[in-house]
Amino acid sequence: MRGRIFQEFTFAGLKQILKEKERVFLGKEPQVLGRVRLNPTKYIASLQIDTYPGKEKVSEKWFQKINIPLNSELVAIIGNKGSGKSAIADIIGMCVDSEHSADFQFLNANKFKKKGLADRFFSHVKFFGDTKSEDRSLFYDVKPTSVPLVQYLPQHYFENICNEIGKIEGFRREIEKVVFQYLPTERRLKSESFSDLIMKKKEGIESEINSFLQAINNLNKEIIQLEDKLNPLHLEMLENLKAAKERDLKAICDTPPSEKINPFAENVGQEAVTKTNPTEEIVNIIDGLKKEISVHENNLSNVLVQIEELQIIKKEIIHRIQDIKVYLDQNAGKLAEFLLTPEELLQIDFKVESMDEIIKNLEDEVASIQGFLKVVDLPNEISDPSELPIKTRLIS
C-alpha cells in the first residue's frame, strides 16, 4: 500500500492511514504540488539517457533509451555499491551545470571518460512545464562560467573538505550557505551571504585599527570585482544567466493563467454571472491580503535594517569616545607638565537619548507590523467567508 493512491475505501486502508498519518494528505492539493505548479522550471521531472545512433555495441550495452522519472519530493537515491547511484547524480549535475564537477565520481576522466565510453552517450533532464536542458554528451565538461540550475555536492567533494585539515574552511563555507538560506529575509539585513551578515553584526565593537583594515579590505574587494568584470568570462557568465531567465520567462508565458470573469462588470451578462466561481470574491480578498502582507514584510525588513544601523552607529560612537578618554588618561602625566588636563582639552556631550528615542519608535513600528502579520493568518482551503480570520474579514 506504500506509495499508492487509494481508490477504494476499505477498513484496512483506514488502519494504514492511522499508522502513517504523515504520508496522507486530505485536501484539494498538497503544498508540494502547488509549489511545482507555480515554479515548473525549478523542479526536475525526469532524467533521460540514450546512445548516439550508430554507436551501439551489442557486447557493451550501457544506456539505451533510459527514462528515470523523479518525484518532486525526492530526497535520496538508495542502492548497493556499484548500482549506479553516483552515475545518476553526476549525470544530472552535468546536465544542469552544477558546481564541483571536478569531484564527479562517475563522470571522471580517470574512470568512465578514460575508457572511451562517455562520448557514445548523451543525456538531458526534463523539468515540469515541458522544458528541458540541452542534449549533452556524457563526455561534456561543465564550464566554470555556467549558471548552475541545481546545487549538487558530490560525495568526493565532501570527503575532501572533511578529511583534509587544509580544506576545513571550505566545509565551513558550505555550512554557512545552508544556515544563511534558512534565515528569514528580514533577519538578513539585506546581506548577500552569511559572512557579510556576521560582518555587519560585528561592526561597532571593532577597534579603530580593525576599522581601517576593513576599509582597506573593502577597497581590495572592489578592485578585484572591477578587474573581474574586465574578464571576458564575466560577460559570458552574464549571457548564460540572461538565457536562463529567458527560459523561465518563456515557460511562464507558455502557460498563462486562465481569465476570470468579473461578475460585477457592466458588460457581463446574467449568464456569465451565474457561471462565476462563488469563491472568486474570497480569492480576490486573499490576493489583496497577500500583496498587503508583502508590503508589510518589506517594510519590516527595512525598519529592522534601520534599527541595526542605528545600533551600530551608537556603539561605534561610544567606543570611539571611550578610546579618546583612555588615550587622554594614559597621557595625563605628560599633559600635567604643561599644566593641562584632559577635561580642558576635550569635552564630549553625546546625546544618546535622541538616538534611543528614535530606536524605540522604530521598535514600536516593528511590533506593530509583526502584530499585523500574526493576525493575518491565511488558511490553505476556504469555502466560506466566515472561515477567514477576523482581521481578514474586516479588511475585505
- 203-227 tens-digit pLDDT: 655 656 766 777 788 888 888 888 8
357 pLDDT above the threshold of 70: yes
Mean pLDDT for the stretch of residues 237-262: 73
- 79 within 8 A of 85, measured Cβ to Cβ: yes
- Tell the residue number behind the cell numbers 505548479, with chain if given: 37
pLDDT of residue 92: 92
pLDDT of residue 335: 85
User: Regarding predicted confidence, which is higher, 179 or 269?
Assistant: 179
User: Which element (helix H / strand E) includes 378?
Assistant: none
Percentage with pLDDT > 70 across the chain: 79
* Contacts for 226 with CB less than 8 Å, ≥ 6 apart: none
Domain positions in the chain: 11-142, 206-256, 270-395
pLDDT of residue 297: 83
* Contacts for 392 with CB less than 8 Å, ≥ 6 apart: 285, 286, 289, 376, 378
pLDDT of residue 126: 92
What number of other Cβ atoms are within 10 A of residue 37's Cβ? 13
pLDDT of residue 379: 53
Q: Quote the pTM value.
A: 0.46
Give helix 168-181 / helix 194-202 axis angle, nearest 10°: 90
